[in-house]
Amino acid sequence: MAQITLCREAWVRPDLAEVTRHARALGATGPIEIDERAIIVEGLDGPTRNYLQQVFGFQCHDRNNPHLYRQHGRAPIGWEAENGTPTP
């Protein structure tokens, strides 16, 4: 629980204009968005999205390969519900 608290307090949604400047400089195409979970871009490979993720401390996803909700990326394994049972 202590780690979750640390992460929750450190989590800050980045500024869209700043993200857009960085993403365009790296070659992003199409719209750039920030939702409650991630920066969403098009036209960037994995290492470049990872770079943006590290710079902003916020997930960065490819619009054409979205991550599954409450799952580990695109893998079919997920977070456990509060009662300890796996989520569907």
Answer whether residue 87 shows pLDDT above 80: no
Q: Is residue 76 part of a domain?
A: no
Helices and strands in the chain, H and E counts: 3, 5
Report how many domains make up the chain. 1
For residues 30 and 3, give the distance between their C-alpha atoms in angstroms, rounded to a whole number.
Answer: 36
Within a domain: 81: no
Whole-number Å distance between alpha carbons of 42 and 44: 6
Q: What is the CATH number of the domain that holds 52?
A: 3.30.300
Q: Are 35 and 44 in contact (CB under 8 A)?
A: no
Instruction: Please give the residue range of the domain that contains residue 58.
Output: 2-71
Q: Is the pLDDT of residue 85 over 70?
A: no
What pLDDT was estimated at residue 60?
93
Q: Does residue 27 lie within any of the structural domains?
A: yes
Element (H, E) at 41: strand 39-42
**Two structure tokens written together for 3:** 């780690």
Residues 6+ apart with CB under 8 A from 33: 16, 39, 40
pLDDT digits (tens, 9 = 90+) for 19-60: 999 999 999 999 999 998 899 999 999 999 999 999 999 999
Assess if residue 32 is contained within a domain: yes
